[in-house]
Amino acid sequence: MAEPMGMFMGHPSQSLTVCSDTSCLRRRQAWQKGTVASEQQTERVLQRLEHNVDVLWTKHLDEREVSRKISSLQTTEALKNGSCIWHRRFLDATGRWVDKWIWLGYAKTGHKTYRPLHLVLCQKQGEAWITVLTVYDPSDSNGLWDKTFTQRMCWHTDPL
Ligand SMILES: [Zn+2]
């Protein structure tokens, strides 16, 4: 799994414990089911990227990149060096299987400084491409993630 080459300084007030709210604890249990196969899912996505699968960048993504001051270059970098932190496979309303991944990668922002980025990826059954639904910097969402940005701690606000 890709590790950032330099030091990343986490946000000092980043939460280290799971939010104790009842609904967050329930969502935390559901979340953990999506983390059990992260390594296999990382391999699956990386294999597709290595075989030059088409990547669809949505209009929503463009808008989010602009409002969150994330460049397309940073998003591309994080896609290439990242890994899966959460995956779910579910049936959509039309009965097609959908794979959805939360992907954590890093974008270099200076000498030995990196910015963490979460990309939300999806691929529907029968589609030959991977769609990047959105991108955000988890260090901007205070208390939602642990300091490694791999574990979600709270659902009180939505990073998407
Ligand atoms: Zn919470």
pLDDT value at residue 12? 43
Ligand 1 centroid vs 27 CA: distance in angstroms?
9
pLDDT digits 0-9 by tens, 50-96:
999 999 998 888 888 888 899 999 999 999 999 999 999 999 999 99
**Helix H or strand E segment including 54:** strand 54-57
> What residues sit around ligand 1, an ion, with C-beta below 5 angstroms?
19, 21, 24, 154, 156
- Computed from CA positions of residues 14, 16, 22, 24, in that sequence, does the dihedral angle turn out positive or negative? positive
pLDDT value at residue 44? 97
Contact 150, 18 (CB under 8 A): no
pLDDT value at residue 64? 87
Ligand 1 centroid vs 113 CA: distance in angstroms?
29
Ligand 1 centroid vs 96 CA: distance in angstroms?
32
> CB atoms < 10 A from the CB of 63, how many?
11
Ligand 1 centroid vs 156 CA: distance in angstroms?
4
pTM score, whole prediction? 0.86
pLDDT value at residue 3? 46
Ligand 1 centroid vs 21 CA: distance in angstroms?
5
pLDDT value at residue 98? 98
Spatial distance between the Cα atoms of 45 and 41, rounded to a whole number of angstroms: 6
Tokens of 110: 């200076």
pLDDT digits 0-9 by tens, 88-140:
999 999 999 999 999 999 999 999 999 999 999 999 999 999 999 999 999 99
